[in-house]
Amino acid sequence: MSLDLPSTIRRFIGDADLITDKIGESPCAVHEFRRGGERFFLKSSPTAYANTTYSVRREAQVLDWLSGRLHVPEVVATAERDGEAFMITRAVPGRPLATCIAAGLPVSALFGEALRNLQQVSVSNCPFDASVAMRLRELDILLAKNLIDPDHDLDAWPGLDTPAKLVAHLHAHVPHQDRVFSHGDLCGNNVFVDARERLFFIDLGRGGIADRWLDIAFVHRELRDQVAEAKAKTIMAALGEPDQPDKRRYFEQLDELF
């Protein structure tokens, strides 16, 4: 272990080897390690992201609140130092749906179940705001600090060929929101399924109260881009209500710079 870590985090890891986890696109550092035959993950977020949904401190709070409401990682240790946040979680069982997709296995029903599980979480006492207004404030912060995703691709959005134009468009077209609990980044890497077909959710830093079409938009995009357009249409039909392509487009645009 060569990282400079807070003492509480360092003591838990002990002499275990930290293996860099390269999956994911956030600015957070993630390492895997083993202790007593169990797998754990160490995640840290830089100081610059302390007031954003990339914050590991926020994610730890979301995970603690969700414990007993959804299958999520157990938070076993947290620490902060000079604005940098650290969290250790116990690995969830099963394999990510992204692995199932790569193996050619059916995932549409599992994504549909994931949506139902998330939207069944009561938001009556949920303390986490993930609304469009909150995410736009966050995006303004990232843009001002030049911390937006450097790999963003605006080719899909005609007339919105600069980050500033896209952000202005998002501010000008905020949709009416139907409040539910939202994962905020629902994709094949963030949903696991175990041998009993139980679903587990990870990477919940963006979790909170948001429009129900945010997660639906991400599931549609995942099936469209990683499986087939027909599967994406199938899950829309399975919702039992009219599709809202304008909302889906909006939430894809909102995600582009993150």
pLDDT tens digits for range 153-204: 999 999 999 999 999 999 999 999 999 999 999 999 999 999 999 999 999 9
Three-class DSSP category at 116: helix
Q: What single DSSP character describes residue 118?
A: H
pLDDT value, residue 1: 46
Residue type for position 107 = V
Whether this prediction's pTM lies above 0.85 is answered by yes
User: Bridge-partner residues for 38, per DSSP?
Assistant: 35
Q: What single DSSP character describes residue 127?
A: -
Instruction: Work out the end-to-end distance of the chain between its first and last CA atoms, rounded to an integer number of angstroms.
Output: 30
Q: Which CATH number fits domain 95-255: 3.90.1200.10, 3.30.450.90, 3.30.365.10, 3.40.50.620?
A: 3.90.1200.10
Higher pLDDT, 22 or 201: 201
Which residues have CB under 8 Å from 237's CB, separation 6+?
none
Please pick, among 185, 211, 215, 255, the residue that the annotation labels catalytic. 185
Of residues 138, 206, 145, 147, the one with CA closest to residue 170: 138
Query: Is 185 assigned a catalytic role?
Result: yes
Q: What single DSSP character describes residue 47?
A: G
Instruction: Copy the structure tokens of residue 54.
Output: 């990339």
CATH number of 7-90: 3.30.200.20
Instruction: Please list the residue range(s) of the chain that carry CATH number 3.30.200.20.
Output: 7-90
Which residues have CB under 8 Å from 152's CB, separation 6+?
163, 256, 257
Q: φ and ψ at 225, to 5 degrees?
A: -85, -30
Contact of 28 with 54, CB cutoff 8 Å = yes
Instruction: Please list the residue range(s) of the chain that carry CATH number 3.90.1200.10.
Output: 95-255
CA-CA distance, 203 to 194, in Å (whole number)?
Answer: 17
- Is 29's pLDDT higher than 80? yes
**Range in 23-27, 59-63, 206-210 with the lowest mean pLDDT:** 23-27
